[in-house]
Structure 1
Amino acid sequence: MSSRRHGGAVARLEVHGAPDERAPDEHAPDEQNAQPGEEGRTGSDEGRAARGALWFATNGIVVKGAQTLVLLTLAATLAPSALGLVALGTLVVNVSAILGNLGTSGALVYWRGDVRAAARTAVTIGLVSASAMTLLLWFTAPALATALRAEDGGAAVIRGLVVTLPALAVAAVTQELLRRELRFLRRIVPEATGAVVGAVVAIVLATQGLGVMSLVAGQVVQGVLTLLLAWVVHPPVLPGWDSASARGLLSYGAPFAGANLLEVLQLNVDYLLVARVLGAVALGQYSLGFRIAYMPYVLLVLVVTGAAFPYLCRRRGESVGHAAEVVLTVLTALLAPLCVLSVLAPEQLMLLGTKWADAVSVLAAMALFSWVLGLTQAIQVALNASGLPGVAMRLRLMHLAGLSLALLVVVRSGVVAVAWTQTVVTTATAVVAVLVATRLVAGFDPVRWLRSLWPVALASGVAVLALLVVDAVGDGLGLAEVSVVRTVLLGLAVLTTYAATLWVTRSTQVRAAWSVVRDAS
């Protein structure tokens, strides 16, 4: 990636063939061989990546919006302890989903050889490993529930959530093939449709009094429908086996999956400790505050970096670093107003009820969490795209180790102390990630990137002033401190003043990113 690494040698992982000696098939991710889908037949890679970001944004809004509706419905209808049970069940299935395909589906985006043989091999690996995980978790669910202090219904939640793991593993192969080909529209249809239908099922059952099992039913419907629709938008990939492909997939996929697994553990080690030390009620409070603080990361960071990954895979030399700077700038600009709202108006979370008072303090402590986590994620995507998933995995491991040690010290002090620890450790990891990028990513200049953020800083300051003014006006008008009207007014004040200021100032990189999106539309 960088001419500064190892005396100028540029090392790239070779997966089933030299990086620049790709098989001449229509799936190879380069300018000569790529055959984009219907949404990408014309235009530059930048334009196609921008279209991908827009489609991923649509997908993120639909999928995560549906999940948020389910979460808010459960939060409004269930006790905090029940929401803690949901958090534990989700943790188990997220870890299992990563182990279910060992990173082989993600490796297909970077693949440098015969992608058809590799995809069939990935399906076989996914089916075998996901089925094994399902059986293991099915029989160990009671023990897991006891260990996590979730004896009251925990085993049933775990068993219900893991039954679709094989279907998700197979669907992931098709989805990653479509992402490799920059066919983002087809890529999002199965996931978005499955999420909406699953959310409708979960919400209807929750309002009928089914409790946490409504979420389980919705997840099962979503998993099965995602697989079926994946086969509609792309011919089914049948199981097969090629030993050379398996070795290549696992050599790239193992550290790739390892980094993803470490991320899940890093994002959930607090859940485990809070559940074990403080109990289900405290976990429910922490879980809600954390999920709201984490939502911008899911809706924005994963959207932008998901579209950027195949684009960065096509870059060479210093253009990787320049593209990474643009991604970091765009992420900062998108996340800043949401950080302002979390810092200055977290009490609006109590619209869900006064029972969530502790969650307000958690949200305030984690106001910057999505941003600092997003910086690390964007840099890790650049490392993965350059054939260095091992470096990304080591960053994840460092984050997990530091966070685990810190949480062991503070967890008995309560959920607010846990939230502050998450923010501080994640910020330190982001600083290290920037230093790593400076050394390993050719063309990446952190000073130039920071200087480009002055319009974002100015717009954020204006948004803070606007929020304080509207808050004071609300007091003068006698509006309740926590109300729908006040929440809407505060949100509009921050978003409109921030967007207007940013539009007027328009830094060079933000303007360049906007031109790419404009030309792609």
Structure 2
Amino acid sequence: MRAHPDAARSTARGALWLATNGIVVKGAHTVVLLALAAALTPSALGLVALGTLVATVAAILGGLGTASALVHLPGSAADAQRAARTALTLGLVTSTLLAAGLWVAAPSLASALRAEAGGAAVIRGLTVVLPCLAVAAVTTELLRRRLAFARRIVPDTVSAVVGAVVAVLLVAQGVGVMALVAGQVVQALLMMVLVWAVHPPVLPGWDRADARALVSFGLPFSGAHLLEVVQLNLDYLLVARVLGALALGHYSLSYRVANMPYLMVAVVVTGAAFPYLCRAQGPLRARGVEVALAVTVSLMLPACVLLALVADDLVLLGPEWAPAAPVLVLLAGYALLLAVLQVGLTVLNAAGRPGHALGVRLLHLLVLALVLLAVVEAGIAAVALGQVVAVAAVGVPALWLARRSVPGTSAARLLADVRPALVATAAMALAVVALRSLGLGAAAGVWAVALLAVAAVGVFLVVLRTVGPQTWRSARALLSRPEVLA
């Protein structure tokens, strides 16, 4: 990418910054999740999952996609800054109305989701901060448009860590599920304050042309995102309705653990690549797509394989979590396939085809609904297997559309990029199997499992450096911040 070294260098640095942010933020969420799992019953964790689902859907509906549309908006930085005022107005109005509506409807929603015991309070607590999230989103997307990732991650990282600390302290005091609510409220309020510290506050305003441009891209974009959330949580809804809160607790823990690599890798890589791919053209865009997909697969594959190999160690949280282990094995494979699909959808959005991405999301939702309705009564393992089948069926047409939207991509180059990670992952898997046969597992305690994980990562890195020296050099180059997308 010699023609645009500054943009490529900024994207590479952005990937590093977003990776740091992803590790800290999702690591903080993981700590809270494990603290809740250790302190609460599986059914209580199911209540947390349902409340989080409602809050996530509400956040998407409240923004209408207008903040994300700022990244794709044609024009200068001044144009984007002007349009941001309209985006803020739209986000504030819709999110405030939605938060008020959910406050009133919370008891009915909780009853419909079979979460009567405390469900209304959780829904209200998690959605009352929607206006704060709408304000923060406009500024963070402006910073992403400018590739100012270093400043963008400060509010995310600091607020997530503080919110996690509050939640864990309250869990230790026996507060229960409301500890998560308190942590999320603190996180949202602090996020809004910190975005004003790293960027001058965006004031409300209105421009009809800007509103039309933002909504024309934002509606299909947010529609695809909403379909993604519904698709990602349809299993929660069906498990809750058909199998009950106990089964949902087991399934929720497995899903959240399996989803961590996806959030730390796929979301990070595509988040950094999206603004670059929006502006790159021709061979530059084609190579950027290959790099994004290769990096995603190379990092997701060892993480998902390792999760599947140590799934039985979930019993460290208590013997009541044993039914979640086989589900985690299946969902680890699902997370890998979902990451590949995420890259394809990001490519479609960057190529100016959010309608195609919306169509893929809709197809995924329809296929998943049909599969899950057929298998949900067989239990949570069947639901997890249904997830794998659905994402595999949709991934093929999605990648075909992505390749058509960006001519010039090479399967041979992509295979060469990921081959070292394939070999290193196989070596890591053999090492883990050997170490577990020697007694490194849940029966030996948490430190034995930690040692096993460290050894697995070490084997992967050593083999990767041996069989893929170019990949190793590229990773080191990324850490030293030169252009690595060339």
TM superposition score normalised by structure 2: 0.95
How far did residue 438 of structure 1 move?
A: 2.4
Match of 1:203 among 168, 179, 199: 168
- The structure carrying a bigger helix percent of its residues is 2
What residue in structure 2 maps to residue 36 of structure 1? none
Match of 1:222 among 180, 187, 194: 187
Q: How does 1:47-66 map to 2 (within 5 A)?
A: 47-66=9-28
What residue in structure 2 maps to residue 46 of structure 1? 8
SS of 1:428's partner is: helix
How far did residue 341 of structure 1 move?
A: 1.4
State the one-letter code of the partner of 1:297.
Y
What residue in structure 1 maps to residue 296 of structure 2? 331
C-alpha distance in structure 2 between counterparts of 1:215 and 1:339, whole Å:
27
What residue in structure 2 maps to residue 11 of structure 1? none
C-alpha distance in structure 2 between counterparts of 1:395 and 1:289, whole Å:
26
State the one-letter code of the partner of 1:154.
G
> Do residues 438 (structure 1) and 433 (structure 2) align?
no
How far did residue 48 of structure 1 move?
A: 1.0
Deviates more, 1:419-428 or 1:444-453: 444-453
What residue in structure 2 maps to residue 295 of structure 1? 260
C-alpha distance in structure 1 between counterparts of 2:37 and 2:284, whole Å:
45
> Do residues 188 (structure 1) and 188 (structure 2) align?
no
1:261-316 per-position Cα deviation (integer Å, ceiling 9, x unaligned): 11111110000000011111100000000100111001111111111111112201
How far did residue 182 of structure 1 move?
A: 1.0
How far did residue 353 of structure 1 move?
A: 0.8
What residue in structure 1 maps to residue 125 of structure 2? 160
What residue in structure 1 maps to residue 72 of structure 2? 110
C-alpha distance in structure 1 between counterparts of 2:199 and 2:256, whole Å:
33
**Is the 1:84–1:283 contact (alpha carbons within 8 Å) kept by the matching residues of 2?**
yes
C-alpha distance in structure 2 between counterparts of 1:311 and 1:203, whole Å:
38
Q: How does 1:4-43 map to 2 (within 5 A)?
A: none
C-alpha distance in structure 2 between counterparts of 1:235 and 1:341, whole Å:
43
C-alpha distance in structure 1 between counterparts of 2:231 and 2:472, whole Å:
31
What residue in structure 2 maps to residue 91 of structure 1? 53
What residue in structure 1 maps to residue 368 of structure 2? 403
1:50-100 per-position Cα deviation (integer Å, ceiling 9, x unaligned): 111111111111111111111111100000010000000000000000111
C-alpha distance in structure 2 between counterparts of 1:413 and 1:425, whole Å:
17
Deviates more, 1:441-450 or 1:344-353: 441-450
**Is the 1:347–1:482 contact (alpha carbons within 8 Å) kept by the matching residues of 2?**
no
How far did residue 481 of structure 1 move?
A: 3.4
Deviates more, 1:430-439 or 1:45-54: 430-439
Match of 1:467 among 420, 432, 442: 432
C-alpha distance in structure 2 between counterparts of 1:84 and 1:128, whole Å:
31
How far did residue 232 of structure 1 move?
A: 1.0
> Do residues 505 (structure 1) and 470 (structure 2) align?
no
C-alpha distance in structure 2 between counterparts of 1:448 and 1:232, whole Å:
43
How far did residue 327 of structure 1 move?
A: 0.9
Match of 2:231 among 245, 266, 269: 266
What residue in structure 1 maps to residue 113 of structure 2? 148
What residue in structure 2 maps to residue 20 of structure 1? none
- CA change 1:240–1:480 in 2 (3 A) is closer
C-alpha distance in structure 1 between counterparts of 2:123 and 2:202, whole Å:
29
1:477-516 per-position Cα deviation (integer Å, ceiling 9, x unaligned): xx76362133123212321111111112227677556545
What residue in structure 2 maps to residue 72 of structure 1? 34
What residue in structure 1 maps to residue 452 of structure 2? 490
State the one-letter code of the partner of 1:94.
T
How far did residue 455 of structure 1 move?
A: 1.6
1:342-379 per-position Cα deviation (integer Å, ceiling 9, x unaligned): 22221111111111011111101112222111111111
SS of 1:252's partner is: helix
Root mean square deviation of aligned Cα: 1.8
SS of 1:255's partner is: helix
- CA change 1:413–1:150 in 2 (3 A) is same
**Is the 1:168–1:223 contact (alpha carbons within 8 Å) kept by the matching residues of 2?**
yes
What residue in structure 2 maps to residue 12 of structure 1? none
C-alpha distance in structure 1 between counterparts of 2:475 and 2:406, whole Å:
20
What residue in structure 1 maps to residue 314 of structure 2? 349
What residue in structure 2 maps to residue 37 of structure 1? none
> Identity across aligned pairs (percent)?
53
- CA change 1:517–1:105 in 2 (3 A) is same
> Do residues 366 (structure 1) and 331 (structure 2) align?
yes
Deviates more, 1:52-61 or 1:445-454: 445-454
C-alpha distance in structure 2 between counterparts of 1:407 and 1:480, whole Å:
32
C-alpha distance in structure 2 between counterparts of 1:161 and 1:484, whole Å:
32
C-alpha distance in structure 1 between counterparts of 2:398 and 2:409, whole Å:
12
State the one-letter code of the partner of 1:66.
A
**Is the 1:326–1:509 contact (alpha carbons within 8 Å) kept by the matching residues of 2?**
no
State the one-letter code of the partner of 1:483.
G
C-alpha distance in structure 2 between counterparts of 1:308 and 1:135, whole Å:
36
- CA change 1:376–1:482 in 2 (3 A) is farther
How far did residue 111 of structure 1 move?
A: 1.0
Q: Please list every run of 5 or more consecutive structure 1 residues that lacks an aligned counterpart in the other structure.
A: 1-29, 32-42
C-alpha distance in structure 1 between counterparts of 2:360 and 2:477, whole Å:
33
How far did residue 386 of structure 1 move?
A: 1.6
SS of 1:223's partner is: helix
Question: How many residue pairs get matched?
Answer: 478
SS of 1:211's partner is: coil
State the one-letter code of the partner of 1:134.
A
C-alpha distance in structure 2 between counterparts of 1:258 and 1:510, whole Å:
39
**Is the 2:464–2:472 contact (alpha carbons within 8 Å) kept by the matching residues of 1?**
no
What residue in structure 2 maps to residue 255 of structure 1? 220
- CA change 1:509–1:379 in 2 (3 A) is farther
C-alpha distance in structure 1 between counterparts of 2:442 and 2:340, whole Å:
37
C-alpha distance in structure 2 between counterparts of 1:205 and 1:48, whole Å:
40
C-alpha distance in structure 1 between counterparts of 2:459 and 2:82, whole Å:
52
